Structure 1
Amino acid sequence: MKVAFIINPISGGKDKAKLPEIINNTASNNHIQADIVYTARANHAAELARELMADGYSRIVAVGGDGTINEVARELVGKDAELAIIPQGSGNGLARHLGIPLTAPKAVEVALLHPSQRVDAAYINGVAFFCTAGVGFDALIGNRFAEAGSRGLTTYAKVAIKEFFGYKPKAYTITVDGQRYSRSAFLITVANASQYGNNAYIAPQADLQDGILDVVVVTKLPLISGPAFAAKMFLKKIESSQYVEIIRGRNITIEREEEDYIHFDGEPGRMGKTLEISVQPSSLKVVF
């Protein structure tokens, strides 16, 4: 088995100087050929993944945050090559959902020694995501967070609190497997996996292997309810909130009044009025 590690040297603001030694020692001890490459720019991980597959690598390890993992994973959908993950980001939503260790030595062992399983991929207007994608308040915060000078949960919380007071719910028409819903929503998250990251569970019942997406509609909640709502997310009890509705399905359309922000796997962006979201079951091999 030829294994390649794609390391994003700046993800999560974490020092990765010791990672090559950990990788080489673990690979050598288990008689595995492992090679290491580094990203140098945005979307470089995707380019490297394509090149490595062409060179015959059968397992490609994404070392970084959910954005880096997304870049690699989207190239592996429908391919024989396997994805493994060394979580080195701010939230590590996909790794946490899959139970991959957050410490590098243990994660490297999993990446090199565990078998793979098939999981679902999802798409929003043709863009692949594996954890969550959405619109509304969390999409706004994702874009503001990307512009912030620092990363981490503390920065995210500060940005969210600052924007909360002025944010107004927006009108959406949501179609799930042919059933239409009109909603005024604070945010809508489509979840393939259960959490945003940092163990904030937006869709506790979401399953990467069930071929179904969870559409989480959150109405505007009063400020006084904010702490209780946040607590429910971390306790996996968000479905009990009176401000939450979850609709499950395979083919989703979200219509809104204008082009606006979106997010996918923690990455910010903008898309048009109509968002087409679908799931591609059992299309990606992941090691966990």
Structure 2
Amino acid sequence: MALPLLFNPASGSTAKDPDVLLRALPKDLRTRVEPRPFGPPWDFEPHIAQASRAGGPLFVWGGDGTIHHAARALIEKGCPVPLAAIPGGSGNGLVRSLRTPLEPAGALQRLLEGRELRMDLPRLDGVPFLNLAGTGFEAAVAHRFHDLPGRGFRTYAKACWQLWRTWPDTALSWDADIASTPHDAGRLERLRAAFHASAPALPASAWSLCFANLPQYGSGLWIAPGADPTDGALQWATLARPSLVELLVDVPQLFREGGRTPLRHEGSLRAATLRLDRPLPWHLDGEPAPERDRAELTVEPRGFRMQVTGACPWN
């Protein structure tokens, strides 16, 4: 039985042609997958059942939103098979972080030859996400982007520009379990921790606030370089509103791995109750989520099965 390869024709800014995708594969791999168009209302159940009978994984070719919905469906079923994400959106933050090739045929081949990663499963008020959740400016942009016609980086940049000048900071209060070096860590890890600076204080206010399981937003923006999807923790990251000069000088650093900028601050936590000074919009993996002024963040260590390529830096 072939593995289902679900693709969302509406996601991303370029058309998806499954025949072209399969022609690029070696002959011995072409018969292992069966492309199927897919979209709302997101009934994944028959496809998960087929992937289980075929020995998994469930292949999903789409953007971060489509992949988010697939992950939630798998979680509801107890993760019977891994999720294999093929980039097909406008941002592709999840697959970029996992170092999956951005060319779809290359991604499909490498994932067919790949391995399973048990990655952490974070939740916002009980609702799971794989990559990022956030509030403030970034969530306002996610909501605006969702309502604008068209997709792609240009549309996202338009949403950012519309909100950049007017979005205010938000006051925050925390009850958090700060991540630190575990008691059973090896000698090398304890030595490294001893020479590191103390953990940064949780922010008292934020313009844009992110909780990251993986390091990248879409389009290659490194929002939380310290995020590790296997450490049982979430990386919090804030962005300060950039001035016009900082837009030119500092913002490009966010798009470079290893880039440094005073606009970004980050730290680590295992769980948190967060209170905001007013109800604000949120996002989950870039998908708009309801307003709230109180949020519970939790992490289930190694709670999700993800198919990755040999280039993935985590085991």
The equivalent of 2:252 in structure 1 is: 231
Letter in 1 for 2:292: G
Letter in 1 for 2:107: A
Question: Residues 181 and 22 from structure 1, CA distance in 2 versus in 1: closer, same or farther, beyond 3 angstroms?
Answer: closer
Instruction: Check the 8 A contact 1:7/1:62 in 2, yes or no.
Output: yes
TM-superposition CA deviations, 1:182-204 (whole Å, max 9, x none): 61210110010101111100001
2-structure distance, mates of 1:248, 1:169: 21
Instruction: Check the 8 A contact 1:4/1:60 in 2, yes or no.
Output: yes
Task: Compute the RMSD of aligned alpha carbons.
Answer: 2.5
1:43 aligns with 2:42: yes
Q: Taking structure 2 as the reference length, what is the TM-score of the superposition?
A: 0.82
1:124 aligns with 2:161: no
2-structure distance, mates of 1:121, 1:38: 27
Instruction: Check the 8 A contact 2:178/2:268 in 1, yes or no.
Output: no
The equivalent of 2:243 in structure 1 is: 222
Pairs aligned (count): 285
The equivalent of 2:270 in structure 1 is: 250
Aligned pairs for 1:74-93 (under 5 A) are 74-77=72-75, 78-93=78-93
TM-superposition CA deviations, 1:59-82 (whole Å, max 9, x none): 100110011111112233442311
The equivalent of 2:170 in structure 1 is: 170
In structure 2, stretches of 5+ residues that fail to align are 180-200, 309-315
Instruction: Check the 8 A contact 2:234/2:268 in 1, yes or no.
Output: yes
TM-superposition CA deviations, 1:102-142 (whole Å, max 9, x none): 11221110232212221112111122111111000010011
Aligned pairs for 1:52-131 (under 5 A) are 52=50, 58-77=56-75, 78-131=78-131
Instruction: Check the 8 A contact 2:177/2:271 in 1, yes or no.
Output: yes
2-structure distance, mates of 1:274, 1:49: 36
Question: Residues 233 and 114 from structure 1, CA distance in 2 versus in 1: closer, same or farther, beyond 3 angstroms?
Answer: same
Instruction: Check the 8 A contact 1:176/1:248 in 2, yes or no.
Output: no
Q: How far off is 1:21 after superposition?
A: 5.3
1-structure distance, mates of 2:203, 2:107: 43
Partner SS for 2:166: coil
Instruction: Check the 8 A contact 1:69/1:85 in 2, yes or no.
Output: yes
Partner SS for 1:13: coil
2-structure distance, mates of 1:182, 1:86: 35
The equivalent of 1:9 in structure 2 is: 9
1-structure distance, mates of 2:96, 2:62: 13
2:208 to 187, 206, 217: 187
The equivalent of 1:198 in structure 2 is: 219
Instruction: Check the 8 A contact 1:175/1:181 in 2, yes or no.
Output: no
Partner SS for 2:219: coil
1-structure distance, mates of 2:23, 2:121: 31
Question: Residues 51 and 271 from structure 1, CA distance in 2 versus in 1: closer, same or farther, beyond 3 angstroms?
Answer: farther
The equivalent of 2:287 in structure 1 is: 267
Letter in 2 for 1:208: P
In structure 1, stretches of 5+ residues that fail to align are none
Letter in 1 for 2:276: R
Partner SS for 2:232: coil
Letter in 2 for 1:16: K
Instruction: Check the 8 A contact 1:65/1:92 in 2, yes or no.
Output: yes
Question: Residues 57 and 36 from structure 1, CA distance in 2 versus in 1: closer, same or farther, beyond 3 angstroms?
Answer: farther
Partner SS for 1:96: helix
Q: How far off is 1:237 after superposition?
A: 4.6
Question: Residues 243 and 107 from structure 1, CA distance in 2 versus in 1: closer, same or farther, beyond 3 angstroms?
Answer: closer
1-structure distance, mates of 2:143, 2:66: 17
Question: Residues 217 and 84 from structure 1, CA distance in 2 versus in 1: closer, same or farther, beyond 3 angstroms?
Answer: same
Q: How far off is 1:100 after superposition?
A: 0.8
1:213 to 234, 251, 257: 234
